Amino acid sequence: MFKGRHFDRSVILLCVRWYLAYNLSFRNLEEMMAERGISVDHATVHRWVVRYSPELLERFNRCKRPVSRKWHLDETYIKVRGRWMYLYRAINSDGDTVEFWFSERRNLTAAKRFLSKALKRYGRPERIVIDGSQTNHEAIVSCDVADWLRDRSRTKLTPIRIRQCAYLNNRIEQDHRAIKRRVRPMLGFKSMVSARVILGGIEMVHMMRKGQAKYACNSNLSLAEQFERLAA
């Protein structure tokens, strides 16, 4: 994973973890490394984050615990190049992150793509709670029908129950805050590509803190220890 790198893996992992987990800029990390006698440019730290966040997330997903079958779904706003874009997110009734998807648009196509990704990875939920969004309602119905048509087991699939209630969806509204708290000091992303990659890393750290990895179920591993496990 770190073969051929000029810097030691511990330095790279430290910078990536600190950037994703805490309200630090790339220049902050450049200064912090200089105080430790390590000369690294802030642009290099940015390249590390963009290079390693997707791979760490992929490894995390392979050892992620299954999620329960009662979901809450919503989207939140993220600014890219001065424009608002949309981070679709779903959590289960226990507060664990189910899935997320970053989209340039907020429409039926984006909602269906997000739901299809979640259904493919975790299977059909019993119930999905949403706010008053008619678009999300249509997306759930459409994906549910498509899933039923693809089923060849000849068993009768129970339709996904949809509950539209803003009050009941406060759970995911609160969960958005952990992501927005980290994104807010960044003052917006410069590109869609870097936004998607970095948001994936921030979501991964959020799931780590919730203890969603299988290896974290019965142990109190720190973020540093979890990063070490993924990079091993």
Q: Enumerate domains of the chain plus CATH numbers.
A: 9-63+214-231 (no CATH), 70-199 (3.30.420.10)
Q: Give per-residue pLDDT as tens, 52-106.
A: 999 999 999 999 999 999 999 999 999 999 999 999 999 999 999 999 999 999 9
Q: 150 falls in which pLDDT band (50, 70, 90)?
A: low
Backbone φ/ψ region at 84: left (φ over 0), alpha (ψ -120 to 50), beta? beta
Q: Give per-residue pLDDT as tens, 151-185.
A: 655 466 788 999 998 788 899 999 999 999 999 99
Q: 6 falls in which pLDDT band (50, 70, 90)?
A: confident
pLDDT at 187: 82
Across the range 204-220, mean pLDDT stands at 89
* Residue 117 pLDDT > 60: yes
Nearest C-alpha neighbor of 223 from the set 76, 40, 14? 14
Across the range 197-215, mean pLDDT stands at 95
SS (H, E, C) the chain: CCCCCCCCHHHHHHHHHHHHHCCCCHHHHHHHHHHCCCCCCHHHHHHHHHHHHHHHHHHHHHCECCCCCEEEEEEEEEEECCEEEEEEEEEECCCCEEEEEEECCCCHHHHHHHHHHHHHHHCCCCEEEECCCHHHHHHHHHHHHHHHHHCCCCCCCCCCEEEECCCCCHHHHHHHHHHHHHHHHHCCECCHHHHHHHHHHHHHHHHHHCCCEHHHCCCCCCHHHHHHHHHC
Q: Give per-residue pLDDT as tens, 9-25.
A: 999 999 999 999 999 99
Write down the mean pLDDT value for the chain.
92
**What per-residue string of b and e applies to 117-155 under the rule 16 or more CB within 10 Å gives b?**
ebbeebebbeebbbbebebbbebbeebbeebeeeeeeee
Percent pLDDT > 90 in the chain is 79
**Global model pTM greater than 0.85:** yes
Query: For 46-55, 102-111, 158-167, 205-214, which range has the lowest pLDDT when averaged over its residues?
Result: 158-167
pLDDT at 19: 97
Q: 3 falls in which pLDDT band (50, 70, 90)?
A: confident
Query: For 52-56, 105-109, 212-216, which range has the lowest pLDDT when averaged over its residues?
Result: 212-216
